[in-house]
Amino acid sequence: MNCGNMQANGEEQDRDSELSCRNGAQNGESSSVGAAHSNGLLSVTNNGNAVSNNNGVPAQPVSNNNSTSDTNSGVKKKKRLSQSEEDVIRLIGQHLNDLGLNQTVDLLMQESGCRLEHPSATKFRNHVIEGEWDKAESDLNELKALMHSPSAIVRMKFLLLQQKYLEYLEDGKVLEALQVLRAELTPLKYNTERIHILSGYLMCSHADDLRAKAEWEGKGTVSRTKLLDKLQTYLPPSVMLPPRRLQTLLKQAVELQRERCLYHNTKLDSGLDTVSLLLDHACSRKQFPCYTQQILTEHCNEVWFCKFSNNGTKLATGSKDTTVIVWQVDMETQQLKLMKTLEGHAYGVSYLAWSPDDTYLIACGPDDCSELWLWNIQTGELRTKMSQSHEDSLTSVAWNPDGKRFVTGGQRGQFYQCDLDGNLLDSWEGVRVQCLWCLTDGRTVLASDTHQRIRGYNFEDLTDRNIVQEDHPIMSFTVSKNGRLALLNVATQGVHLWDLQDRVLVRKYQGVTQGFYTIHSCFGGHNEDFIASGSEDHKVYIWHRRSELPIAELTGHTRTVNCVSWNPVLPGLLASASDDGTVRIWGPAPFLDVQDAEGLNECCSMDS
């Protein structure tokens, strides 16, 4: 859109010229509004009174206010707009334009003295949408002087000609398309690989075949609008705004608020239709798994481990009482009920691992246990009871992603890779294993050892390398789903977060009491944004991954909490196992009354 005194040839004037132009419009002089109205006139209604632009001087609206108000209003109109105010007006104008409120946009630009985009950009936009390719190509010469990178003209020209070529092909004008390819696209000497692909489209038998192979929407507004979006990226925003810029900024604001919300634990929805823009985003602690939903008391001794299945439908718990109990999770009510009890683990059960498809469950015992049990959970039958030697200590296990192999080891120097029948496939001598994890590449096994480190072992080429080095014993560790982060419980230090790729310590989480007991922590919540850990002070601690201070301390257990597990499918469900013989299931607060429901709009708090 162009202001009253702006040159029509599309050359960009300096800021002073724009300001004088703007002030001219604000003093009642005519401000051109581009080609939106064919007669160049603007007609709107102001409190029922017509405002006309018949001869370049707007008719004065009839006012019910006194002359003093008119004078004050006139003074306000002469105020020069700041750059940010101009930007906001342009953003609003673009949004209104996308909604089809063109007359409103024209009036906004006239009254503010701003322009939505450079006149040359407006011409270019119209010619692209109308498919007038020769004119659009000519417009590029005007835009060239306004661009930061004149070399981008070649790329823009290529995109225009590509659309022109495809539209000729769709219309069945093969000779014209061939002419574009040979005489216009090829001489650009740009992206010859793409030109070869385009030439192949000449063989398409019909329009549907062309659209499918070119992954193109076909001739029309949709494909031309997409083309414009690509072309705009080469133009400065002062010339043409990026498409849907206001919505982009609003989405970014909403996403940032969600990221900063300590208790946000629902799937991230990038759309704006599901949120209110009139209020800041805030999740309440009452939506978070901080409240005891169930206390499972079927074990009759210390509970050393708990782990949800990968599909979230089951929970396995291991105890000093020599049993494993498998619980069924009702995915609707999020209540658990006893499904199976697996018996006969003479030394007790201190570690459990679900196979990737949740068909099998492996159970390990404490340091003096040389046996490993592999259960078929669907049938409840023991498939394999493995023991290589009575001298072994098999205290940890991890599944290969293929579900056909697993690795196991212990602190007496055993480190084996086995199949489902317990047959030894590979072994690594002299590695005193504390905890194990298989990475998704199917080759690398991470093992924490008695040298206060985590090393990566490759069973295929028999290489190993140091990844993490701590100053104190690593009692246990777990790895995020994407394989990037490791969460360590370090003796006397607490919970540490490491970046495995960069091999750096990212964060030390505060609050937890960690001595020399083996305590297992976990990632959890949507996008694994949260971290939970047991503690020797009988509590469960929860942190946001980015914050060192706990956002919740869950009380209820009466002895050390050995292990926590976050349901991978239900982000509001958390389990904890304790030496007090119980397993607690934590979930959101039940809504007791209207006031509780309204509490969901409370601001996030660090209080627990």
> Measured between alpha carbons, how far is 386 from 160 in angstroms, rounded to an integer?
68
Tokens of 441: 């590449």
State the amino acid at position 293 in one-letter form.
Q
Question: What is the model's pLDDT at position 69?
Answer: 46
Question: What is the model's pLDDT at position 575?
Answer: 97
Tokens of 111: 């009254």
Please give the helix or strand (H or E) that residue 16 lies within, else none: helix 15-26
What are the φ and ψ backbone dihedral angles of 4, each rounded to 5 degrees?
A: -50, -50
Q: Which residues contact 82 (CB under 8 A, 6 or more apart)?
A: none
Question: What is the model's pLDDT at position 183?
Answer: 93
Task: Say what the pTM is.
Answer: 0.67
* Distances from the Cα of 46 to the Cα of 64, 179, 303, angstroms: 12, 54, 75
Question: What is the model's pLDDT at position 3?
Answer: 40
Query: How would you label 184-219 residue by residue, b for 16+ Cβ within 10 Å and e otherwise?
Result: bbeeeeeeeeebeebbebeebeeeeebbeebebeeb
Tokens of 447: 């093992």
Question: What is the model's pLDDT at position 78?
Answer: 52
* Distance, C-alpha 483 to centroid of its chain: 16
Q: Which residues contact 89 (CB under 8 A, 6 or more apart)?
A: 81, 108, 109, 112, 114
> Measured between alpha carbons, how far is 166 from 180 in angstroms, rounded to an integer?
10
Q: Is the pLDDT of residue 339 over 70?
A: yes
Question: What is the model's pLDDT at position 54?
Answer: 37
Q: Is the pLDDT of residue 414 over 90?
A: no
> Measured between alpha carbons, how far is 303 from 321 in angstroms, rounded to an integer?
8
Q: Which domains does the chain carry?
A: 116-239 (no CATH), 283-585 (2.130.10.10)
Beta bridge partners of 375: 361, 382
In this predicted model, what pLDDT tens digit does every residue of 427-451 receive, in sequence order? 888 788 889 999 988 889 999 988 9
> Measured between alpha carbons, how far is 18 from 22 in angstroms, rounded to an integer?
6
What are the φ and ψ backbone dihedral angles of 39, each rounded to 5 degrees?
A: -90, 0
Q: Which residues contact 235 (CB under 8 A, 6 or more apart)?
A: 121, 143, 146, 147
Mean pLDDT of 557-570: 96
Mean pLDDT of 556-568: 96
Question: What is the model's pLDDT at position 540?
Answer: 97
Question: What is the model's pLDDT at position 583?
Answer: 97
- pLDDT tier at 391, thresholds 50, 70, 90: confident
Q: Which residues contact 266 (CB under 8 A, 6 or more apart)?
A: 283, 526, 571
Question: What is the model's pLDDT at position 543?
Answer: 95
Q: Which residues contact 444 (CB under 8 A, 6 or more apart)?
A: 438, 456, 457, 458
